[in-house]
Amino acid sequence: MGATGLATNPNEYRDRLIEQPDDQLDNWTSELLRDVAKRRGVVKAVADIQRAAKLDEKGLRRVFARGGGVPATVGKDAEGHLIVPAIALHFLVPGLRSEVPEARDSLIAYLVSNFDEIVYV
């Protein structure tokens, strides 16, 4: 984020993210998806990005496939939560870029919504 480190609160973090180029946002989002999946599970990572991008199940499946993910690997866990392979979470980022007109805003929303996760790591 800068020489002084992470923002002190979500609002400051959002302001700093807005200043970042798209490729940096994409990289941070991909890394955070991976980190959240490791710490909290794939269900949390998928649900968070789905909520931030305002995607229904069909939309998430489309975004995943458009980003390069194998459509047949999208599924549901025993409780019915939408999941993708942890190793393929990064496909959601280019998929959002190609499918969602407000992708940049969605990626920023995802990063900000996980501000506490970032601070923890």
Predicted confidence at residue 1, as pLDDT, reads 42
pLDDT band at 119 (very low <50, low <70, confident <90, very high): low
- Which positions ≥6 away from 44 have C-beta within 8 Å? 36, 37
State pLDDT tens for residues 19-62. 999 999 999 999 999 999 999 999 999 999 999 999 999 999 99
State pLDDT tens for residues 59-108. 999 999 999 999 999 999 999 999 999 999 999 999 999 999 999 999 99
Q: Is residue 32 helix, strand or coil?
A: helix
Locus of tokens 């949390």: 44
> Taking the domains of the chain in order of start, what are their residue ranges?
10-120
Nearest CA to 95 out of 71, 70, 67 is that of 67
pTM: 0.90
d(C-alpha 83, C-alpha 20), whole Å = 29
